[in-house]
């Protein structure tokens, strides 16, 4: 039982390049989400999903796309990377989509630098 896994752990991109951050969970959790963490800003929600085929925007969705074709995977796509997207990205899952009463589990993070 691996929990929540993220790949890659580190990535350096040039401005304008595209890439996909991978997130996978083996806990059969309904709810999955992506956050970015920046110094002094805490965690900010980018996108979230309450189940396969359903996604919605968080606080800071611009520049990012997501899809949820399976329960297990929730990839985050950067179509044209910008220096402002330099950050640490965390994927998080929760058993139920029915509210915040369940514990939210976080992946180890992906550290992204855009030059």
Residue 77: other Cβ atoms inside 10 A? 13
**Lookup: tokens for 29:** 């959790």
The stretch among 17-25, 60-68, 71-79, 106-114 that binds another protein (CB under 8 A) is: 106-114
Query: CA 108 to CA 82: how far, in whole Å?
Result: 23
Site for another protein in 26-85 (CB under 8 A): 31, 33, 35, 40-45, 48, 50, 56, 58
Contact 63, 73 (CB under 8 A): no
Measured from the CB atom, is 28 or 99 closer to another protein? Answer: 99
Nearest to another protein of 62, 101 (CB atom): 101
DSSP 99: -
Residue ranges binding another protein (CB under 8 A): 31, 33, 35, 40-45, 48, 50, 56, 58, 90, 92, 97-101, 103-109, 111
């Amino acid at each position: 039982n691996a929990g929540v896994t993220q790949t890659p752990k580190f990535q350096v991109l040039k401005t304008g390049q595209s890439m996909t951050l991978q997130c996978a969970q083996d806990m059969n959790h309904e709810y999955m989400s992506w956050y970015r963490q920046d110094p002094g800003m805490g965690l900010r929600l980018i996108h979230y999903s309450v189940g396969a085929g359903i996604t919605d925007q968080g606080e800071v969705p611009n520049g990012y796309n997501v899809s949820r074709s399976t329960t297990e995977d929730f990839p985050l796509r950067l179509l044209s990377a910008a220096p402002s997207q330099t950050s640490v990205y965390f994927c998080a899952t929760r058993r139920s989509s029915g509210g915040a009463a369940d514990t939210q589990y976080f992946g180890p993070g992906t550290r992204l630098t855009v030059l």
